[in-house]
Chain A
């Protein structure tokens, strides 16, 4: 059947997707690239001037840009490993056949379904230094109240806790789906061979979940590297610049200072850095898929 489909026919079937992608991805991307070579300052008249590589030169010399990149990378390192481990453990627990399994699954998925800015506002109340529930909980154990969002040493940790709370369910969902795909026969065969629970997990579950976890890692690395709404709602990048990750800095350049050319340039560099960070993970997935194809 497949051999019967000619090349031009395939193109026609793909045309709607190509058209939509061109409109919503390619055009804005190319337009942003075009804008990035211009000085376009809305606050002072909004006229666009071609300035060549000047925005790129300014950005590369801008210490705040690089410190924003650094904070975003730190944030990724703080949240993604925890979300992957925690998500996998919870998913495995939720996969055990117990009473109320569906209810627990639902409960754990809820945080993911709330809009990030709403989550940020909720957590602002939770983190409130005087009235917040978190400090109240600490007080039960005689631990002094913390200024979660106002202390530069704690602020990024506070944002990370929120992110882990909200995005671990995504990993749970992925891993749960991955676990359903593992054939029971494999476990049964392993049991016959005398494998214990840990060995089954180490040599069956984990290898089967490898691609799922890599996929989850890619999504989470990209998403957390670009984190914006929760930080904007929680700290606006403060105190000082303690939580001013690169997307907050780019937003401020574009939509607070209205330097659209410079902001487009920063966004482009951010895109390139994101690609550099995620390409090894994508390559790893592709290799794994190719290896599986070769085996089968």
Chain B
């Protein structure tokens, strides 16, 4: 009996010894599967994203179009996205201050490429994404799908991937087709000279009360960044050096191109623009165009949406988009970057890789965003809704960028002041151009580019 019990015990022990690793393996495998199912699986089409960052909170500087997509991401991942709203200058200032503290309070942000030299070069605050891009468990970046100019200019710096393009931004010429037809003008202007002539014909008193109530051009001549944008577009389109400097890093604003650009703004364009346009930034221009107050203007794609929206625009059905005059346009553009000091870089990267995924970009475009992906810009369904998408591609092809030097933003602010001074009649175009040149040269000298 004792022998039987002993044998039974030995059999049970041997069975246990075999069984235990098996059950252990089985249990371990089950955990791994569940981890794969719940924490690692990525299927953007089905809305499945990793859950392993659940409970994390990230602070991100966004746009309203990005904000529209946040609930979907939060539901899929359990990550809480705190959206911070800021305009162009506000975003720059928040980032510069945040980087200086090196605390990473802002995890991720939209940023303009002209801040590269400053935010990456000098402040060293933007995380390179090359390593994160190799990791599994994130949506594919599909970098080949970006408009090359957008990926190269917004996304890369010194060969490293430092941002994911989010706004394919370029200045477009917007015009009112009905006003053109009424004045017998058949097509949008191809040069700035033509634009001024057409603008004169369209600057009229429509109701006969002796007061001009329709203007030819919506000039963004206020003390905001768009005055610098308009100036830069005009400067480049009249042969100004791209990036503003010669090889010795001497500013080129006091050249004929610089003076011509300021002179056009202060005289020719001002003459066909509403008298208060020296207080205008982009919002005011879009509003005036949408209310039928101006017949033409330079517009960023972000404003195009409003101009064709019947609930916001009186001219929604009459809007045409064309190539910026002189076959030259200004490249804008925003990308999403991650703070080098962020405590949640992976959760932020998950958000951005999902947000910029080709499938999410369709939803982003439907929410009113301007994509930088070719597949989205050429999406036939989207082009029906957003007729300016082909114009974006056309303008991108001939666009020229702002400088990427660390001093770029400071020079943009100098340009804003010079343009606004000239448009307001405070200085002659020649004086404003010379002062702009002198200030820029002094800045470069102070920063050690030359003695």
- Which residue numbers of A lie inside 8 Å of B, CB to CB? 42-46, 128-130, 144-145, 147, 149-152, 235-242, 252, 255-258
**Stretch of B104-112, B143-151, B160-168, B269-277 at the chain-chain interface:** B269-277
**Stretch of B14-22, B133-141, B327-335, B422-430 at the chain-chain interface:** B422-430
**A/B interface sample: 20 pairs, CB < 8 A:** A42-B96, A43-B96, A43-B123, A44-B122, A46-B100, A46-B123, A128-B276, A129-B274, A129-B275, A130-B274, A150-B278, A152-B425, A152-B426, A235-B223, A237-B223, A238-B222, A238-B279, A239-B279, A240-B427, A256-B93
Asked if A147 meets B89 with Cβ closer than 8 Å, knowing A45-B123, A152-B426, A257-B410, the reply is no
For B427, list chain A residues within 8 Å (CB).
240
A235 to B99, CA, bound (A): 29
A152 to B425, CA, bound (A): 8
Q: Are A43 and B410 in contact (CB under 8 A)?
A: yes
Q: Is B409 an interface residue (CB 8 A)?
A: yes
For A239, list chain B residues within 8 Å (CB).
222-223, 278-279, 420, 423-424, 426
Report the nearest B residue to A248, measured CB to CB.
Answer: B223
For B275, list chain A residues within 8 Å (CB).
129, 147, 150-151
Partner of B293, one of A130, A145, A152: A130
For A258, list chain B residues within 8 Å (CB).
96
For A236, list chain B residues within 8 Å (CB).
222-224
Asked if A42 meets B97 with Cβ closer than 8 Å, knowing A129-B275, A239-B420, the reply is yes
Closest 10 CB pairs of A and B: A240-B426, A238-B223, A239-B424, A150-B276, A129-B276, A240-B424, A236-B223, A147-B276, A150-B279, A147-B275
Report the nearest B residue to A130, measured CB to CB.
Answer: B293
Near A by CB (< 8 A), chain B positions 118-160 give 118, 122-123
Report the nearest A residue to B213, measured CB to CB.
Answer: A130
A235 to B424, CA, bound (A): 13
Q: Are B211 and A145 in contact (CB under 8 A)?
A: yes
For B276, list chain A residues within 8 Å (CB).
128-130, 147, 149-150
Q: Measured between C-beta atoms, what is the minimum distance from A54 to chain B in Å?
A: 11
For B211, list chain A residues within 8 Å (CB).
144-145
For B312, list chain A residues within 8 Å (CB).
none
A44 to B410, CA, bound (A): 11
For A147, list chain B residues within 8 Å (CB).
275-276
Q: Is B267 an interface residue (CB 8 A)?
A: no
A149 to B274, CA, bound (A): 13
Q: Measured between C-beta atoms, what is the minimum distance from A250 to chain B in Å?
A: 15
Q: Is B303 an interface residue (CB 8 A)?
A: no
Q: Measured between C-beta atoms, what is the minimum distance from B101 to chain A in Å?
A: 10
Q: Are A238 and B123 in contact (CB under 8 A)?
A: no
Given contacts A237-B223, A240-B424, A242-B426, 6 further A-B contacts (CB under 8 A): A45-B122, A129-B274, A145-B211, A150-B424, A152-B424, A239-B424
Q: Measured between C-beta atoms, what is the minimum distance from A254 to chain B in Å?
A: 10
Q: Is B421 an interface residue (CB 8 A)?
A: yes
A62 to B100, CA, bound (A): 27
Q: Is B387 an interface residue (CB 8 A)?
A: no
Q: Are A42 and B123 in contact (CB under 8 A)?
A: yes
A255 to B123, CA, bound (A): 15
Q: Is B447 an interface residue (CB 8 A)?
A: yes
For B409, list chain A residues within 8 Å (CB).
43
Report the nearest B residue to A240, measured CB to CB.
Answer: B426
A235 to B277, CA, bound (A): 12
Q: Measured between C-beta atoms, what is the minimum distance from B402 to chain A in Å?
A: 15
* Mask of B68-99 contacts with A, CB within 8 angstroms, 1/0: 00000000000000000000010001001101
* Mask of B303-342 contacts with A, CB within 8 angstroms, 1/0: 0000000000000000000000000000000000000000
Q: Are A255 and B410 in contact (CB under 8 A)?
A: no
For A256, list chain B residues within 8 Å (CB).
89, 93, 413
Q: Are A150 and B224 in contact (CB under 8 A)?
A: no
Q: Are B447 and A44 in contact (CB under 8 A)?
A: yes
Q: Is B406 an interface residue (CB 8 A)?
A: yes
For B277, list chain A residues within 8 Å (CB).
150
* Among B277, B406, B417, residue most surrounded by chain A Cβ atoms (within 10 Å): B417
A7 to B237, CA, bound (A): 76
A144 to B277, CA, bound (A): 18
A152 to B221, CA, bound (A): 14
For A46, list chain B residues within 8 Å (CB).
99-100, 122-123
For A240, list chain B residues within 8 Å (CB).
420-421, 424-427
A252 to B417, CA, bound (A): 12
For A235, list chain B residues within 8 Å (CB).
223, 279
Report the nearest A residue to B224, measured CB to CB.
Answer: A236
For A149, list chain B residues within 8 Å (CB).
276, 279
For B413, list chain A residues within 8 Å (CB).
252, 256-257
Partner of B420, one of A129, A144, A238: A238
For A145, list chain B residues within 8 Å (CB).
211
For B223, list chain A residues within 8 Å (CB).
235-239
Report the nearest B residue to A64, measured CB to CB.
Answer: B417
A252 to B425, CA, bound (A): 22
Near A by CB (< 8 A), chain B positions 354-376 give none
For A238, list chain B residues within 8 Å (CB).
222-223, 278-279, 420, 424
Q: Measured between C-beta atoms, what is the minimum distance from B392 to chain A in Å?
A: 29
Near A by CB (< 8 A), chain B positions 406-451 give 406-407, 409-410, 413, 417, 420-421, 423-427, 447
Report the nearest B residue to A43, measured CB to CB.
Answer: B118
For A44, list chain B residues within 8 Å (CB).
118, 122, 406-407, 447
Report the nearest B residue to A132, measured CB to CB.
Answer: B276
For B407, list chain A residues within 8 Å (CB).
43-44
Q: Measured between C-beta atoms, what is the minimum distance from A220 to chain B in Å?
A: 27
Q: Are B420 and A43 in contact (CB under 8 A)?
A: no
Report the nearest B residue to A150, measured CB to CB.
Answer: B276
A2 to B101, CA, bound (A): 49
For B222, list chain A residues within 8 Å (CB).
236, 238-239
A277 to B306, CA, bound (A): 49
A124 to B118, CA, bound (A): 33
* Among B89, B100, B213, B279, residue most surrounded by chain A Cβ atoms (within 10 Å): B279
Report the nearest A residue to B119, measured CB to CB.
Answer: A43
Report the nearest A residue to B209, measured CB to CB.
Answer: A139
Near A by CB (< 8 A), chain B positions 219-236 give 222-224
